[in-house]
Amino acid sequence: MIGTDFTSRYDENTTIPGKIPASFNPTANQGNRQANPFQIYNWTGNFYAAASFALNPSLNSTTSGGLLYYHQRFHGVLARVQQLTAGTNSLAGGVIQNDSETTQETITIGRFLEERLGYKNRVFVTAALRSDDNTSFGKRFGNILYPRLSASWVLSEEPFFPTADWLRALKLRAAYGSSGLHPGPTDAQQFFVATPVAVASVDVPGVTIGGLGNSALKPERTNELEFGFDAELKPADAHLALTFYNKVSHDALINVTLPPTCGCGTSVFRNLGSVANKGVEISAAATVIHRRNVNFDVNASAWGTRSRVRSLGKGIAAIIFGLGGATQRIQPGYAPGAYFQVPYTFADTNKDGLIGSGEVHLGTTATFQGQPFPDHGGSLSGTLSLFERFHLYGLVDGRFGNKLFNSTEQFRCGLNNCRGRNDPTAPLAEQAAAVANILGTQAGYMQDADFIKLRELSLTYDAPARLSSRIGASSLSFTLAGRNLATWTKYKGLDPELNEAGQNNFTTADFLTQPPVRYWIGRVNVAF
CATH of residue 208:
2.40.170.20
Give the residue with greater pLDDT, 165 vs 42: 42
Do residues 128 and 111 make contact, with C-beta atoms less than 8 angstroms apart? Answer: no
- Give the mean model confidence (pLDDT) for residues 213-223: 90
Q: Give the percent of the chain with pLDDT over 90.
A: 63
Report pLDDT digits (tens) over 441-495.
Answer: 999 999 999 999 999 999 999 988 888 888 888 888 999 999 999 999 999 999 9
- Given 106, 133, 166, which residue is the final one in a domain? 106
Decide if pLDDT at 256 tops 90. Answer: no
Decide if pLDDT at 419 tops 80. Answer: yes
Provide the pLDDT confidence category of residue 266 given band limits of 50, 70 and 90.
Answer: confident
- Given 75, 106, 137, which residue is the final one in a domain? 106
Same domain, residue pair 168 and 102: no
Decide if pLDDT at 45 tops 80. Answer: yes
Do residues 404 and 508 make contact, with C-beta atoms less than 8 angstroms apart? Answer: yes
Same domain, residue pair 249 and 361: no
- Give the mean model confidence (pLDDT) for residues 236-248: 94
Evaluate whether residue 228 is within a structural domain: yes
Same domain, residue pair 253 and 376: no
State how many domains the chain has. 3
Same domain, residue pair 82 and 141: no
Burial-class residue 254 by CB neighbours within 10 Å (0-12, 13-18, 19+): buried
Give the residue with greater pLDDT, 14 vs 25: 14
Most confident of 92-96, 310-314, 335-339: 335-339
Domain that holds residue 34: 1-106
Decide if pLDDT at 98 tops 70. Answer: yes
The pLDDT score that the predictor gives to residue 77 is 92
The rounded distance, in Å, linking the Cα atoms of 241 and 123 is: 18
The rounded distance, in Å, linking the Cα atoms of 361 and 129 is: 58
Same domain, residue pair 215 and 360: no
Do residues 133 and 180 make contact, with C-beta atoms less than 8 angstroms apart? Answer: no
The rounded distance, in Å, linking the Cα atoms of 180 and 71 is: 17
The rounded distance, in Å, linking the Cα atoms of 234 and 48 is: 38
The pLDDT score that the predictor gives to residue 482 is 97
Evaluate whether residue 47 is within a structural domain: yes
Provide the pLDDT confidence category of residue 186 given band limits of 50, 70 and 90.
Answer: confident
The rounded distance, in Å, linking the Cα atoms of 197 and 205 is: 6
Give the residue with greater pLDDT, 14 vs 315: 14
Decide if pLDDT at 216 tops 80. Answer: yes
Do residues 148 and 175 make contact, with C-beta atoms less than 8 angstroms apart? Answer: yes
- Give the mean model confidence (pLDDT) for residues 183-199: 82
Same domain, residue pair 374 and 508: yes
The pLDDT score that the predictor gives to residue 50 is 96
CA 129, 131, 134: angle at the middle one, nearest 5? 155
The pLDDT score that the predictor gives to residue 472 is 80
Provide the pLDDT confidence category of residue 196 given band limits of 50, 70 and 90.
Answer: confident
Which residues of 291-375 form beta strands (DSSP E)?
294-311, 319-321, 328-330, 338-341, 344-346, 360-362, 367-370
Report pLDDT digits (tens) over 493-510.
Answer: 999 999 988 766 688 999
Same domain, residue pair 153 and 100: no
The rounded distance, in Å, linking the Cα atoms of 116 and 128 is: 9
The rounded distance, in Å, linking the Cα atoms of 88 and 80 is: 14
Evaluate whether residue 422 is within a structural domain: yes
- Give the mean model confidence (pLDDT) for residues 53-76: 94
Residue closest to 433 by CA, chosen among 455, 456, 464, 407: 407
Average pLDDT, the chain: 91
Range scoring the smallest mean pLDDT among 119-133, 261-275, 282-296, 353-367? 261-275
The pLDDT score that the predictor gives to residue 388 is 87
The pLDDT score that the predictor gives to residue 165 is 83
Same domain, residue pair 184 and 249: yes
The rounded distance, in Å, linking the Cα atoms of 29 and 82 is: 10
3-state secondary structure of 4: strand
Give the residue with greater pLDDT, 140 vs 429: 429
Evaluate whether residue 297 is within a structural domain: no
The pLDDT score that the predictor gives to residue 504 is 60
Same domain, residue pair 69 and 134: no
Q: Which one-letter DSSP state was computed for residue 313?
A: -
Provide the pLDDT confidence category of residue 88 given band limits of 50, 70 and 90.
Answer: confident
Same domain, residue pair 127 and 92: no
Q: How many helices (H) and strands (E) does the chain have?
A: 5, 28
Same domain, residue pair 282 and 400: no
Do residues 127 and 148 make contact, with C-beta atoms less than 8 angstroms apart? Answer: yes
Evaluate whether residue 184 is within a structural domain: yes
Decide if pLDDT at 43 tops 70. Answer: yes
Evaluate whether residue 337 is within a structural domain: no
Evaluate whether residue 154 is within a structural domain: yes
Evaluate whether residue 350 is within a structural domain: no
pTM, two decimal places:
0.82
Same domain, residue pair 147 and 18: no
The pLDDT score that the predictor gives to residue 503 is 65
3-state secondary structure of 305: strand
